[in-house]
């Protein structure tokens, strides 16, 4: 259904990985008959505008997906996990890490949350009018969904049947069923404080969500652990209409991933045994490769601040681009490909 609606030659959707999905990657994916996706993430609207202008130039028929974060950074800090005491305790845990990277110690005070750009990103969606607008980490208001549907298919992300039901009630056109094998951040929104909440594998989650929204005839997009044609066939047999693939595209030349990240996904890496899910690095559960930073912080992840604050705290550590002290996001099914065409055709 989605393939026909969007005029695609394949049922493959490139995942909208923030920081990875450059305009060049989106365009190259589209060239191979799949749906390219751009993740606006937490980028300022000036950067997103520039990227969308480039995508519109490279993909003039606008057959691409713009993804936005439904994440509130301005919510009140009432959780015990976000207390000043927890903040200071976690800073002490980071002292050996900061010393290893020759970074100074932070001020110790809890910073103001970074700005949320959701409204700006939605305004850019209205301006550039891509064929698909997707979102994660929450549910857009039904009125917003209807406004977007004037020009785009609107797609939400669910990690459980409960989340899928909420997305269906909001009136989305399709739902990404994100299984626990997926690399990167969990796109759900009901249970995010503990990383093992809603960790349902793709083969169990896909039919559950298909059954739950079947009466509404909402197409389901399978995501998580999909790395070759066998996974695609299994997902389709379980009721999925298309598949979303992320890790396979990280190592491509067009990817915006750092050199260190790309090298970590080489042929000698076995993500099925080398990945774990933790909220200790970014404040939101994410599947990534194990390294020194993960091993140091995962045992204390309950102390990590909520996502906007935790990301801000870790920024200078990540900027060092040391493979042992980065969040090397990766899925649990395989390594990355070196060419976009290979990534698309491997999972056709």
Q: For 40-87, what is each residue's pLDDT tens digit?
A: 999 999 999 999 999 999 999 999 999 999 985 444 344 555 677 788
Residue range 7-11: mean pLDDT, rounded: 90
What sections of 187-328 are H helices per DSSP? 202-213, 229-237, 247-250, 259-264, 271-274, 292-297, 307-319
Q: Which pairing describes strands 184-185 and 220-223: parallel, antiparallel, or unpaired?
A: unpaired
Q: pLDDT tens for residues 148-164?
A: 999 999 999 999 999 99
Task: Note the maximum CA span of the chain.
Answer: 57
Q: Give the CA distances from residue 139 to residues 70, 174, 252, in Å, rounded to whole numbers and listed in that order.
A: 7, 13, 31
The domain segmentation of the chain, as residue ranges, is: 2-74+81-346
Residue range 88-100: mean pLDDT, rounded: 93
The fold of 2-74+81-346 is TIM Barrel (3.20.20)
- Confidence band (pLDDT; 50, 70, 90) for 268? low
Residue range 33-39: mean pLDDT, rounded: 97
pTM value is 0.93
- Confidence band (pLDDT; 50, 70, 90) for 271? very low
- Report pLDDT for 77: 46
Nearest to 5 by CA among 185, 132, 105, 100: 132
Which tokens belong to 190? 């009901």
**Side-by-side strand order, sheet with 184-185:** 184-185, 286-289, 275-278
Which tokens belong to 263? 């090298």
The distance from CA 19 to its chain's CA centroid, rounded to whole angstroms, is: 10
| Residue 202 phi, psi (nearest 5) | -55, -45
Instruction: Report the chain's mean pLDDT, rounded to a whole number.
Output: 89
- Report pLDDT for 78: 46
**Side-by-side strand order, sheet with 12-14:** 12-14, 242-245, 220-223, 174-178, 153-158, 132-136, 64-69, 36-39
């Amino acid at each position: 259904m989605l393939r026909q609606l969007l005029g695609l030659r394949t049922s493959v959707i490139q995942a909208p990985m923030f920081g990875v999905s450059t305009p060049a990657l989106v365009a190259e994916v589209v060239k191979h008959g799949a749906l390219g996706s751009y993740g606006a993430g937490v980028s300022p609207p000036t950067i997103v505008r520039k990227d969308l202008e480039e995508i519109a130039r490279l993909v003039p028929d606008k057959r691409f997906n713009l993804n936005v974060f439904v994440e509130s950074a301005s919510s009140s800090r009432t959780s015990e996990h976000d207390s000043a005491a927890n903040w200071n305790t976690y800073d002490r845990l980071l002292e050996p890490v900061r010393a290893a990277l020759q970074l100074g110690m932070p001020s110790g005070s809890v910073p103001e949350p970074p700005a949320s750009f959701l409204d700006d990103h939605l305004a850019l969606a209205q301006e550039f009018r891509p064929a698909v607008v997707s979102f994660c980490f929450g549910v857009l208001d039904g009125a917003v969904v209807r406004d977007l549907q004037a020009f785009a298919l609107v797609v939400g992300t669910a990690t459980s049947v409960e989340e899928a039901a909420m997305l269906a009630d909001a009136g989305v056109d399709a739902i990404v069923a994100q299984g626990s094998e997926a690399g990167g951040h969990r796109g759900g929104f009901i249970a995010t404080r503990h990383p093992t909440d809603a960790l349902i594998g793709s083969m169990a989650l896909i039919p559950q969500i298909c059954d739950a929204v079947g009466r509404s005839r909402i197409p389901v997009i399978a995501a998580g652990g999909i790395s070759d044609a066998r996974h695609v066939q299994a997902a389709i047999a379980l009721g999925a209409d298309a598949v979303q693939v992320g890790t396979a595209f990280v190592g491509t030349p067009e990817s915006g991933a750092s050199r260190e990240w790309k090298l970590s996904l080489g042929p000698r890496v076995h993500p099925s045994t080398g990945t774990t899910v933790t909220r200790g690095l970014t404040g939101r559960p994410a599947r990534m490769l194990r390294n020194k930073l993960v091993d140091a912080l995962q045992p204390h992840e309950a102390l990590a601040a909520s996502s906007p604050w935790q990301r801000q705290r870790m920024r200078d550590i990540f900027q060092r681009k040391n493979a042992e002290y980065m969040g090397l996001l990766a899925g649990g099914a395989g390594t990355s490909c070196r060419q976009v065409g290979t990534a698309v055709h491997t999972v056709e």
